[in-house]
């Protein structure tokens, strides 16, 4: 494997709207990120991925871009962005932007011109179809519910949107559109950013010609995934994009990739892959239901272990996964992956170590390092996320009471991750001096950065230790490039694996409240990390307390 600058890095996702507000308007901003760079640098973070801060009407919280070349005034100015890039470089840190090019906003200039002249140049930047009386071009259901087709204002046509109706899909079959995308990517790379997280990219290739699929709900529509399963040839677009942009700048790219086929993995993240890395979503989709969130079930420790090991085995040493516990589209990981009632400082540390020591690039989402948890919702009126609102309607239509529907969707709501960052126990968690755009989790009084920074036993201090271990010259080669081999897979609620390279490390996590024993074939050399005060042992028998995790050098 050719070694790249990003292989040994640790990434941190910032959701700008909820990170830190510098001017008291209740919305996080780029100057706020600059003010917190030292916090991130001290933690040990290298790469900062910013969720979208381009101009946007925020129908989908910035994933509906109205101008790819400008910063939304809510978040600051382009001068602020230039300063963020410069200040990050001073600290040896790298900036990733979010690349949202499956769709744009209906307020983008391209779409406005398509409305004015659907037969002209910009009409072909989108998927437009003639409107027929009482008949849709296809019966596909959008990710946010309802048909993917919407009337094109002022015309007798309809346009395709696989997400929100204010997010018209861009027609990647059109080379002129692709040229505009590449031009923008190169513009940002010239400006000094180091790469991109690439949003919803699998959706850029549609199955042609368009057709209907078997309905899978009472609404008579069919999941968009049924169409995507039939789409072929996306590699032509992705390879062209890589060659025209990323490759020229040695940029780091991480793709939001779903449903890839095993034989395609080398094409996506191999030696000359379309991307540097792609996220592992194996765990996030486990327990899901085609009926909706209300029908989803809690992932078990055994399933979590199986999902992690399946993903690792699938990738092997072909390339690098980007490993996550949570992101802006998921509930808080500690609330999702730790059994209900067991969410403690100790179990949070266990989950952190089991994830962080996997082979791949570790991504931390803002507040994850503090062990931030899901927010309690008392009413659907408190919810901002459009996806949660749609899932609530789906649950109501399935016969759930309003109370049960709220309880069901609250577990998975994207708002759980979007509540403001908890900086201190002061009013509004010191996120803003104004009124926060989204309600805070009331537990900021006890879970916040100020309390944890100087506490050697805090969740944040444990993350800092994990990062330091990954960067330790004695172990870096093994942790970054070594193989991963599961062990004791049949032992219930125990997740353990070797990392083998220049050295041999053993990571063991007891994923339950009760003690568990394991037997080592040989004695260990030293304990590199332990979330308990002791490690009970008798000869080569180790007895792990509830939710204890240890990293051993053998």
Residues with catalytic function = 199, 256
Write out the E strands in 287-434: 320-323, 361-365
Strands 128-130 and 157-160: antiparallel
Q: Is 81 exposed, middle or buried (CB count within 10 Å of its CB: 0-12, 13-18, 19+)?
A: buried
| Beta-bridge mates of residue 135 | 132
The H or E element spanning position 176 is helix 175-191
Residues 6+ away with beta carbon under 8 Å from 33: 14, 16, 19, 20, 48, 50, 84
The H or E element spanning position 389 is helix 386-397
Tell me how crowded residue 264 is: count the other CB atoms within 10 A of its CB: 16
- 408, two tokens: 């069901």
Rounded Cα distance between 357 and 325, Å, is: 12
3-state DSSP of 76-144 = CCHHHHHHHHHHHHHCCCEEEEEECCCECCCCCHHHHHHHHCCCCHHHHHECEEECECCECCCCEECCC
- 148, two tokens: 């993917």
Rounded Cα distance between 117 and 109, Å, is: 12
Q: Which residue has the tokens 């300063």?
A: 83
Rounded Cα distance between 64 and 79, Å, is: 22
On whether the CB atoms of residues 162 and 142 are closer than 8 A, the answer is yes
Rounded Cα distance between 254 and 7, Å, is: 12
Q: Which residue has the tokens 């470089």?
A: 89
Q: Which three-class secondary structure state does DSSP give residue 267? A: helix
Q: Which of 376, 460, 365 is nearest to 417 (CA)?
A: 365
Q: Which of 332, 421, 414, 319 is nearest to 360 (CA)?
A: 319
| Beta-bridge mates of residue 313 | none
């Amino acid at each position: 494997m050719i070694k790249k600058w990003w292989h040994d890095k640790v990434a941190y996702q910032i959701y700008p709207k909820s990170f830190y507000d510098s001017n008291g308007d209740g919305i996080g901003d780029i100057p706020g990120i600059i003010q917190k760079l030292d916090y991130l640098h001290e933690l040990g973070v290298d790469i900062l991925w910013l969720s979208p801060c381009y101009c946007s009407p925020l129908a989908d919280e910035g994933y509906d871009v109205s101008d790819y070349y400008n910063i939304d005034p809510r978040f600051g100015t382009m001068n602020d962005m230039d300063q963020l890039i410069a200040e990050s470089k001073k600290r040896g840190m790298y900036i990733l932007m979010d690349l949202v090019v499956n769709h744009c906003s209906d307020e983008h200039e391209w779409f406005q011109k398509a409305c004015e002249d659907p037969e002209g140049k910009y009409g072909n930047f989108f998927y437009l179809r003639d409107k027929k009386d009482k008949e849709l071009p296809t019966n596909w259901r959008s990710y946010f519910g309802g048909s993917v087709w919407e009337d094109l204002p002022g015309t007798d046509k309809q346009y395709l949107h696989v997400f929100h109706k204010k997010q018209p899909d861009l027609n990647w079959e059109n080379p002129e559109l692709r040229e505009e995308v590449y031009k923008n990517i190169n513009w940002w790379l010239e400006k000094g950013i180091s790469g991109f997280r690439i949003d919803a990219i699998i959706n850029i290739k549609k199955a042609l010609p368009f057709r209907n699929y078997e309905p899978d709900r009472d609404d008579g529509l069919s999941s968009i995934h049924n169409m995507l399963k039939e789409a072929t040839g996306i590699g032509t677009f992705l390879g062209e994009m890589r060659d025209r942009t990323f490759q020229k700048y040695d940029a780091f790219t991480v793709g939001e990739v779903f449903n890839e086929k095993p034989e395609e993995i080398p094409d996506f993240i191999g030696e000359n892959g379309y991307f540097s890395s792609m996220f592992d979503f194996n765990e996030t989709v486990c327990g899901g239901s085609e009926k909706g969130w209300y029908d989803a079930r809690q992932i078990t420790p055994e399933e979590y272990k199986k999902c992690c090991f399946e993903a690792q085995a699938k990738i092997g040493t072909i390339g690098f996964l980007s490993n996550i516990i949570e992101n802006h589209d998921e509930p808080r990981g500690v609330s999702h992956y730790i059994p209900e009632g067991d969410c403690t400082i100790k179990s949070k540390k266990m989950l952190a170590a089991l994830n962080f020591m996997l082979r791949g690039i570790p991504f931390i989402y803002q507040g994850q390092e503090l062990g931030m948890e899901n927010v309690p919702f008392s009413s659907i009126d408190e919810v901002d996320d459009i996806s949660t609102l749609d899932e609530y309607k789906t649950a109501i239509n399935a016969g759930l009471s309003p109370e049960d529907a709220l309880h069901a969707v609250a577990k998975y709501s994207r708002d759980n991750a979007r509540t403001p960052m908890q900086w201190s126990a002061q009013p509004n968690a010191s996120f803003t001096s104004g009124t926060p755009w989204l309600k805070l989790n009331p537990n900021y009084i006890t879970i916040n950065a100020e309390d944890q920074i100087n506490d050697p036993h805090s969740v944040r201090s444990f993350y800092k230790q994990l990062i330091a271990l990954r960067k330790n010259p004695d172990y870096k080669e093994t942790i970054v490039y070594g193989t991963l081999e599961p062990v004791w897979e049949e032992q219930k609620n125990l997740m353990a694996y070797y990392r083998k390279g220049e050295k041999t490390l053993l990571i063991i996590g007891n994923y339950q409240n009760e003690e568990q024993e394991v037997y080592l074939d040989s004695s260990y050399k030293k304990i590199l990390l332990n979330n308990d005060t002791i490690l009970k042992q008798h000869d080569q028998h180790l007895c792990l307390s509830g939710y204890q995790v240890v990293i051993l050098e053998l």
